[in-house]
Amino acid sequence: MKLAKYAKFRQEKFGGVLFETRSERVYALNATGAAIVREIGAGCDELALVDRMNDRFRDSGGSIEREVIAFTANLRQQGLIEE
């Protein structure tokens, strides 16, 4: 899993922005979304991503896994990440 060819990420104080330059769409991310996208940009796969977010946010209820999966599915649907 990696950022799509035309997707550019930049960290911001509020979280981050994802800019899909082919469609010229811009997406704002909150801090959590930015953390996930940063890991994806670093080449992290989905399983490792869940582990890292669990470590970072110390969740034991399984909500992180659900949120990460839903969020990455959303990114994939928008063409912002690819395998």
Least Å from the CB of residue 52 to another protein: 12
Give the integer Cα–Cα distance in Å for 17 and 51.
23
Give the integer Cα–Cα distance in Å for 60 and 17.
29
Please tell me whether residue 10 binds another protein under the rule CB under 8 A.
yes
Give the number of residues in contact with another protein, rule: CB under 8 A.
34
Give the integer Cα–Cα distance in Å for 48 and 51.
5
Q: Which residues bind another protein (CB under 8 A)?
A: 6, 8, 10, 12-14, 17-19, 21-33, 36, 53, 57, 59, 63-64, 67-68, 71, 74-75, 78
